């Protein structure tokens, strides 16, 4: 009998997609990983890749392993060009049809700004975001990357988006921050906490991950640590060096307005980069109900 396989999905980028497309994302990615395994298993039981049909071979030799890998790659390429392309086109067609007439305008600019800073809203078309996320995951397999890009181009063409358009480029929407060296007050376990991607930390009850412990962390201490890091980053931003935009040399004189090469000076850290870092803290503060942290970040970002 065929072995039973339980596929557990832990793709946190799926949470950034609209609810209507999350299940499709999980199914496609799961099939993308399962089908090659199923193909290899079925041919291994038949002895397809064994030389001279010797089913008693104790181990796979190097030539057999190379043959197996090449067959798997060729099989997966064919699946991408046929099965996955057809299935994704059908899914995208359904998403586009479902999205028509359901777009609502955002009237409250203030609430929209707060939601965006908190990381609760994924801007962009649902079908486009689905294509970008699925293609990005499938393209992680270097052996079939070209075939995935061809599939992606066809999907983008269906929704009338150019392949190299800025809105067609994938960027990870899951922003995160790692809080280092957190010590459990009960068992003294030390670990770094990923406050944006660890699903066990998305609730407001943080506990030690040691199975025999499970003691809750001190949330007030966590918030104080985040506040110290926030203030340090703000201080470093205001005290940063200026660099020449042409030759990238540091500014070494206080009163000069231009570099020796006549290039203008600019901040070493771009304001948009600093703002994106602050938005990560704001997202954590909103999710974890850290009022003091939220107030400090809102003051820095001038959120009213």
For residue 85, give both structure tokens: 């392309």
Say if residue 59 is in the same domain as residue 109: yes
Range of the domain at 223: 178-301
Name the pTM for this structure. 0.61
Structural domain count, the chain? 2
C-alpha to C-alpha distance for 138 and 145, rounded to whole angstroms: 8
Say if residue 153 is in the same domain as residue 242: no
Task: Decide: 87 and 28 in contact? Cβ < 8 Å.
Answer: yes
CATH of the domain at 210: 1.10.3200.20
Q: What pLDDT sits at residue 75?
A: 93
Q: What pLDDT sits at residue 193?
A: 86
| CA-wise closest residue to 191 among 182, 200, 178, 179 | 182
Say if residue 161 is in the same domain as residue 193: no
Q: What pLDDT sits at residue 155?
A: 93
Say if residue 274 is in the same domain as residue 235: yes
Per-position pLDDT tens, the chain of length 304: 456 677 777 787 887 788 888 899 999 999 999 999 888 888 776 665 555 444 444 456 777 778 888 889 999 999 999 999 999 999 999 988 887 756 544 444 444 444 444 444 454 588 899 999 999 999 999 999 999 999 999 999 999 999 888 888 887 766 678 888 888 888 888 888 888 777 777 776 788 888 888 888 888 888 999 999 999 999 999 888 888 888 888 888 887 888 888 889 888 888 888 888 898 899 888 888 899 999 999 998 886 4
Q: Is the dihedral of CA 217, 221, 225, 230 positive or negative?
A: positive
Q: In three state form, how does the secondary structure of the chain look?
A: CCCCCCCCCCCHHHHHCCHHHHHHHHHHHHHHHHHHHHHHHHHHHHCCCCHHHCCCCCCCCHHHHHHHHHHHHHHHHHHHHHHHHHHHHHHHHHHHHHHCCCCCCCCCHHHHHHHHHHCCCCCCCHHHHHHHHHHHHHCCCHHHHHHHHHHHHHHHHHCCCCCCCHHHCCCCCCCCCEEEEEECCCCCCEEEEECCCCHHHCCCCCECCCCCCCCECCHHHHHHHHHHHHHHHHHHHHCCCEEECCCCCECCCCCCCECCCCCEEEECCCHHHHHHHHHHHHHHHHHHCCHHHHHHHHHHHCCC
Say if residue 184 is in the same domain as residue 124: no
Say if residue 47 is in the same domain as residue 151: yes
C-alpha to C-alpha distance for 101 and 274, rounded to whole angstroms: 37
Q: What pLDDT sits at residue 103?
A: 54
Q: How many CB atoms lie within 10 A of CB 183?
A: 14
Say if residue 121 is in the same domain as residue 189: no
Say if residue 21 is in the same domain as residue 140: yes
Angle subtended at Cα 287 by Cα 282 and Cα 290, rounded to the nearest 5 degrees:
70
Question: Long-range pairs for 76-80 at CB < 8 Å and ≥24 separation?
Answer: 76/35, 76/36, 76/141, 76/143, 76/144, 77/144, 77/147, 79/35, 80/138, 80/144, 80/147, 80/148, 80/151
Q: Is residue 125 part of a domain?
A: yes
Say if residue 127 is in the same domain as residue 213: no
Q: Is residue 262 part of a domain?
A: yes
Say if residue 64 is in the same domain as residue 90: yes
Q: What pLDDT sits at residue 92?
A: 93
Say if residue 30 is in the same domain as residue 127: yes
228 Cβ partners below 8 Å, 6+ apart?
none
Q: Is residue 201 part of a domain?
A: yes
C-alpha to C-alpha distance for 222 and 242, rounded to whole angstroms: 33
Q: Is the dihedral of CA 104, 110, 114, 119 positive or negative?
A: positive
Say if residue 100 is in the same domain as residue 71: yes
C-alpha to C-alpha distance for 63 and 70, rounded to whole angstroms: 11
């Amino acid at each position: 009998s065929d072995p039973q396989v339980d596929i557990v999905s832990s793709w946190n980028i799926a949470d950034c997609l609209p609810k209507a497309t999350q299940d499709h994302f999980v199914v496609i990615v799961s099939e993308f990983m399962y089908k090659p395994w199923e193909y290899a298993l079925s041919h291994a039981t038949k002895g397809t890749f064994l030389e001279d049909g010797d089913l008693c071979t104790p181990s796979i030799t190097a030539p057999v392993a190379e043959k197996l890998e090449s067959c798997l790659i060729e099989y997966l390429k064919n699946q991408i060009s046929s099965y996955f392309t057809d299935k994704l086109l059908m899914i995208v067609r359904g998403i586009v049809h479902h999205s028509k007439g359901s777009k609502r305008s955002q009237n409250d600019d203030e609430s929209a700004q707060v939601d965006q800073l908190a990381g609760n809203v994924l801007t962009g078309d649902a079908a486009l975001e689905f294509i970008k996320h699925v293609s990005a995951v499938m393209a992680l397999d270097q052996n079939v990357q070209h075939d995935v890009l061809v599939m992606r181009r066809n999907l983008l063409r269906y929704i009338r988006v150019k392949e190299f358009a800025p809105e067609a480029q994938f960027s990870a929407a899951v922003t995160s921050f790692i809080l280092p060296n957190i010590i459990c007050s009960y068992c003294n376990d030390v670990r770094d906490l990923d406050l944006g991607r660890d699903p066990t930390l998305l609730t407001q009850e943080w506990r030690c991950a040691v199975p025999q412990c499970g003691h809750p962390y001190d949330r007030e201490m966590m918030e104080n640590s985040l506040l110290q890091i926030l203030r340090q980053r703000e201080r470093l931003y205001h005290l940063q060096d200026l660099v020449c935009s042409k030759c990238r040399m540091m500014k070494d004189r206080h009163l000069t307005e231009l570099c020796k090469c006549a290039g203008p000076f600019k901040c070493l850290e771009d304001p948009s980069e600093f703002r994106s870092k602050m938005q990560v803290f704001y997202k954590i503060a909103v999710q974890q109900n850290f009022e003091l942290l939220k107030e400090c970040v809102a003051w820095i970002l001038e959120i009213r």
